């Protein structure tokens, strides 16, 4: 009637496998593919395999999905990848906050992708402290084309201000491990963060410039 009723917050969906896939047959797939082919020379579409992030980077939008991690099963993930491949897309963009967060689960996904021999490449986001030679090699074998790292700064003191819980040594190791496995590597950096100086900004630019990156971006905080 005339009343406004506030219901309490509902719990997050714990079983992500219970959520059906997007009905991609109702997308204008030809238009999406034509755009990406024209813009990037390959076609791609996105999917999410998990929700939540246990980290608390100072600048991040983590509250969207919260700190609790919910992950889809290996079979459920690869079934959706197979559906995307069947629609003729060249790549999948795994849009998880950090696709490589659980290495055991990631390696199982890579094993299943390799077993099914799906003719589709993929890209994802990773933290630098979840990347090593074993993980990078498995990702490459399973069809990964490129991995993006949120490095954010080339100065360890600024990384502490950001609460990134990583350091520049880990960042360099992760990029070089990805490249050694044959993956393309991308990285994101923030310059002009609160607490920075001219020196720390230059540290970031110099650090980013010396890494063997295929893609990098600098953004400003606001």
Q: CB neighbours of 57 closer than 8 A, spacing ≥ 6?
A: 150, 152, 162, 163, 164
Q: CB neighbours of 207 closer than 8 A, spacing ≥ 6?
A: 154, 155, 168, 171
pTM over 0.75: yes
**Can you tell me the distance from the alpha carbon of 157 to that of 165, in angstroms, rounded to the nearest whole number?**
11
| Whether the predicted pLDDT of 77 surpasses 90 | yes
Asked which of 58-62, 85-89, 157-161, 183-187 is least confident by mean pLDDT, the reply is 58-62
| Whether the predicted pLDDT of 73 surpasses 90 | yes
The confidence score (pLDDT) of residue 55 equals 92
The confidence score (pLDDT) of residue 11 equals 85
Looking at every residue in the chain, the average pLDDT score rounds to: 95
* β-bridge pairing 91-94 and 121-126: parallel
| Whether the predicted pLDDT of 68 surpasses 90 | no
For range 193-207, the mean pLDDT: 97
pLDDT band of 61, cuts 50, 70, 90: confident
For range 201-218, the mean pLDDT: 97
96 sits in the region (left: phi over 0; alpha: psi -120 to 50; else beta) called beta
**Size of the chain, expressed as the number of residues it contains:** 222
pLDDT band of 28, cuts 50, 70, 90: very high
| Whether the predicted pLDDT of 129 surpasses 80 | yes
């Amino acid at each position: 009637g005339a009343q406004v009723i506030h219901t309490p917050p509902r719990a997050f969906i714990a079983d992500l496998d219970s959520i059906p896939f997007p009905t991609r047959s109702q997308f204008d797939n030809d238009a999406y593919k034509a755009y990406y082919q024209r813009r990037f020379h390959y076609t791609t579409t996105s999917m999410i395999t998990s929700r939540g992030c246990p980290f608390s980077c100072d600048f991040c939008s983590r509250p969207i999905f919260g700190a609790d991690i919910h992950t889809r099963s290996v079979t459920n993930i690869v079934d959706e990848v197979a559906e995307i491949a069947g629609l003729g897309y060249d790549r999948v963009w795994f849009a998880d906050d950090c696709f490589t967060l659980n290495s055991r689960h990631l390696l199982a996904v890579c094993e299943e992708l390799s077993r099914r021999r799906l003719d589709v490449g993929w890209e994802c986001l990773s933290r630098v402290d979840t990347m090593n030679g074993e993980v990078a090699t498995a990702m490459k074998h399973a069809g990964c084309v490129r991995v993006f790292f949120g490095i954010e700064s080339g100065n360890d003191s600024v990384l502490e201000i950001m609460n990134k819980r990583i350091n520049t040594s880990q960042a360099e190791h992760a990029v070089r491990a990805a490249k050694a496995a044959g993956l393309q590597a991308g990285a994101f950096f923030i310059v002009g963060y609160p607490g920075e100086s001219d020196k720390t900004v230059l540290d970031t630019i110099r650090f980013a410039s010396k890494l063997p990156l295929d893609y990098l971006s600098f953004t400003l905080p606001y």
